Structure 1
């Protein structure tokens, strides 16, 4: 990877308005504003993906950082056959799964018994809570924590498809592709995950999946700082 220069002045064009296709060539040249824009644009999806596998905020952040470093160190391998966001997410998912495999006390995704019998209809949760006053904001925060706990209690493979579909908003085919499973299997796991969620939190809250596992503000910016610092150290 080309050495990353310390920019002497801001870009004349605001890089945050550029598409991924426009940012990637700049990032290949070691352009820090482009790298930061990519990181801040994709932080939430990568964090949620890693968090769905790892179930620990700090470890999920480590996975995201490792994924970014691997991606930016191997941008030449990105041929553009898939969307850049897809390529990044696959790297983060693989990093998370590799970490799980190294933790002997964690059950692998494909080792979960899929023969457990659950009935009931799929529960469709609202995507957000309207927040117009402090009381509503407090309710949103409490609901988010309850939901995160309920998500963490799901079996690994159920949790992964649930986060990708209902939290991150991916389509079934896309989520199935990330997880390396058939769309039909993804639908079955999602159905069962929703059933378990319903059993856990029904009648307690109305749902706020769009606010789950936030990764923004200073936390988002700090990830960019950490990745760039690591890349500078890595580059001879």
Structure 2
């Protein structure tokens, strides 16, 4: 009996990956999900500022993306294409919530603030003292970033935390590269008032979305896609 070699999806180009996903190759879909989950979750959070809402937006965006992934033309990277879909989904939810609140306010019904800070704790096991210190630092960072105006916050998350280039950020948000640079500069200036320079290295550890969180989301999306 011949044993078929397992395919290495990490070496495939975006166009080939998209084509396999369009053909509902389960492992190709799983690869795209696990590769992009954290970045896309952070993008959704940067707009919604709520973990549960960000996860819901991400799931909905994935379902929408995979239903039309056959139309992916490779004009940008697959990750940038997905980021744009997630951002549009999150912004759509913000607009919908604003309309809902406006309707309720007009009717004289008190509405609670829809943006709640449910900040995530790290999933890795640390010594008690180190875990407490790391959690405190993470909360300081996340609160400071959450306090940025939305137009600055999303650019900051994509550029500084996710490491997207100016061009990819511009493409994902649909704004000029010069605007990306200006908003990032202003975001940095605002954060300098709350954060010491040495905390910068800890930024990549904020908003963790890996391990069990990543696996659970991947399983839910795969289930919704019937894979």
What is the aligned partner in structure 2 of residue 13 from structure 1? Answer: 6
Q: Is the 8 A contact 1:28 1:75 kept in 2?
A: yes
Partner residue of 1:39 out of 33, 38, 41: 33
Structure 2 partner of 1:226 = 220
TM-aligned CA deviation for residue 25 of structure 1: 2.5
Secondary structure in 2 aligned to 1:201? Answer: coil
Whether contact under 8 Å (2:18, 2:72) holds in the other structure is: no
Name the stretch that deviates more: 28-37 or 170-179: 170-179
Is the Cα contact below 8 Å between 1:15 and 1:23 reproduced in 2? no
TM-score by length of 1: 0.75
Find the aligned partners of 1:30 and 1:180 in 2 and give their Cα distance: 29
Structure 1 residue runs of 5 or longer lacking an equivalent are 1-9, 107-132
Does residue 103 (structure 1) correspond to residue 70 (structure 2)? The answer is no
How far apart, CA to CA, are the structure 2 residues paired with 1:37 and 1:206?
32
Q: Cα–Cα, structure 1 residues 191 and 58, in superposed 2: closer, same or farther, change >3 Å?
A: same
Q: 1:169 aligns with which of 151, 157, 163?
A: 163
Is residue 145 from structure 1 mapped to residue 150 from structure 2 by the alignment? no
Give the Å deviation of 1:136: 4.5
Higher mean C-alpha deviation, range 224-233 or range 186-195:
224-233
Matching of residues 171-186 of structure 1 within 5 Å: 171-186=165-180
CA distance in 2, matches of 1:11, 1:227: 27
**1:50 equivalenced with 2:44 (yes/no):** yes
Matching of residue 79 in structure 1 with residue 79 in structure 2: no
RMSD: 2.4
How far off is 1:137 after superposition?
A: 4.9
1:61 matches 2:55:
yes
More off after superposition, 220-229 vs 139-148: 139-148
Q: Secondary structure at the match of 2:199?
A: coil
Structure 1 runs of 4+ aligned residues shifted over 6 Å read none
Corresponding pairs, count: 197
More helix by share: 2
Conserved? CA contact 1:28–1:72, under 8 Å: yes
Q: How far is the alpha carbon of 1:105 from its aligned partner?
A: 7.2
What CA distance in whole angstroms lies between the structure 1 residues aligned with 2:23 and 2:171?
30
TM-score by length of 2: 0.78
